[in-house]
Amino acid sequence: MILIIHTTFSVVALLAGIIFLLPKGTEKHKKMGYLYTISMLICVVTSFGLFNIWGGFGVYHVLSIVSFITLIIALYFPLFARHNKHWVVQHSIWMGYSYVGLVMAGGSHLFGVFPDWPSWLRVVAFWVFPYVLGSILIFKNKNEAVKKAISNLKNKN
């Protein structure tokens, strides 16, 4: 049952990740952000109930802790650090990496789907490629997205 809950909310978080394509600082952004955050928190919590891969605490549990920390840092800025003039930038970067981590975690589950691929190719396809592409997109779009978010936030107030 825990695997079903974990998988369901992982998919919901992946779909809610469309937020990265939407204008920032809007009500829709905020609602999709709540959906993403709640889904991710459920994924992290349920991950600690999954022991079938390692038979106990393993590397994926460590990565769940990293995922939780990344999400908490991303949420810290809009919730507690709006006085910092770069809070929108920090929020954007950390949320971006939260999503990249989610995509990489999903990729981990594809390792078994392609058992004939050499290990190095699976690592590149499911971990390195999403990380590099995600990093490029996060930093390439950062300034424009942040400007729009600040404009939307000012127009709202």
pLDDT digits (tens, 9 = 90+) for 74-131: 999 999 998 988 898 899 999 999 999 999 998 888 888 888 999 999 999 999 999 9
Contacts of 116 (CB under 8 A, 6+ apart): none
How many domains does the chain fold into? 1
Residue 148 has pLDDT above 80, yes or no: no
Q: Which domain holds residue 135?
A: 2-156
Residue 54 has pLDDT above 70, yes or no: no
Residue 10 has pLDDT above 90, yes or no: yes
